[in-house]
Amino acid sequence: MVKESTRDSGVSVQDRQRDRAARGVRSRSAVASMTSERPSPPRRRRPALAALAVLLIVGGAALAGLLALRLDSREPVLILKQDVSAGAKITADMLGTTPVASEGLALVPESQADSVIGTYARSALSKGQLLDTTVLTTAEPFGTNQVQVGVPLVDGQIPPGLRSGDEVRIVRLGDGNTPVQPLAVGLVLGASGSEEGGLASGGTTTSTGTVLVPALAADSVVDASGNELLGMSLIRRGVAVDDARLQVLGGR
């Protein structure tokens, strides 16, 4: 009995060892199978990233170089140091300079300042404005049949914000017994005592203006302004001196 139990026991131990060995082999096989089925990690595209980095560096350097060239290409051009009325003669004290990239523009270089002095402003120009050859004329802007007349500008009798370069219709106001009498079409050249770009800002007779009118209408305009019966209505803004449609009204 003892021998048989020992034999049975020995067989059982050997069987268990074989079973464990078999289980170990199967486990390693399963692990190897799972490992072989696992997808491989994607390849890193390091050459492409390096090429992109090089392109970015080269592009940035090229952009910086272009900006530097643009800055270096700036040249001093003429700029106005004060407001200039339409038809006014350009003088040296009106001019200043500022550096700009003026390629392809009609701006006047500082080196050509002498060619500008003595010319006339075709239209009203503002302080700080870059001087453009298209707003200048070498010809005398006023003909022999045109007269500059100084007139008081009374609030309520002129359009608000009237300024240099405005083309206006000038009339003699009626007094209840006489109707309004048209006098002329004129061009406002400038004014003194103006505020915020206008020639009158409120109250009565706050400023005095200079108006270009046909010579035949000058006496009538002076008479109406002297009697405080001068009125104006706006026709066009920003009119150049040589584009103004001056004319006598009222059949004169």
Domain residue ranges of the chain, discontinuous segments joined by +: 75-137, 146-248
Which of 25-34, 44-53, 105-114 is predicted most confidently?
A: 105-114
Q: If you classify domain 75-137 with CATH, what class do you get?
A: alpha beta
Q: Note the pLDDT tens digit of each residue in 121-154.
A: 998 999 999 988 888 988 888 888 999 999 988 8
- Quote the pTM value: 0.63
For residue 101, what pLDDT is reported?
73
Beta carbons within 8 Å of 242's beta carbon, 6+ residues apart:
122, 137, 139, 141
Question: pLDDT grade, residue 190 (50/70/90)?
Answer: confident
**Which has more pLDDT, 43 or 153?**
153
Confidence of residue 197 (pLDDT cuts 50, 70, 90): very low
Decide if pLDDT at 118 tops 90: yes
Specify the range with the lowest mean pLDDT, choosing from 67-76, 197-206, 214-223, 239-248: 197-206
User: Residue 248: pLDDT band by 50, 70, 90 thresholds?
Assistant: very high
- Looking at the predicted structure, is the pLDDT value of residue 88 above 80? yes
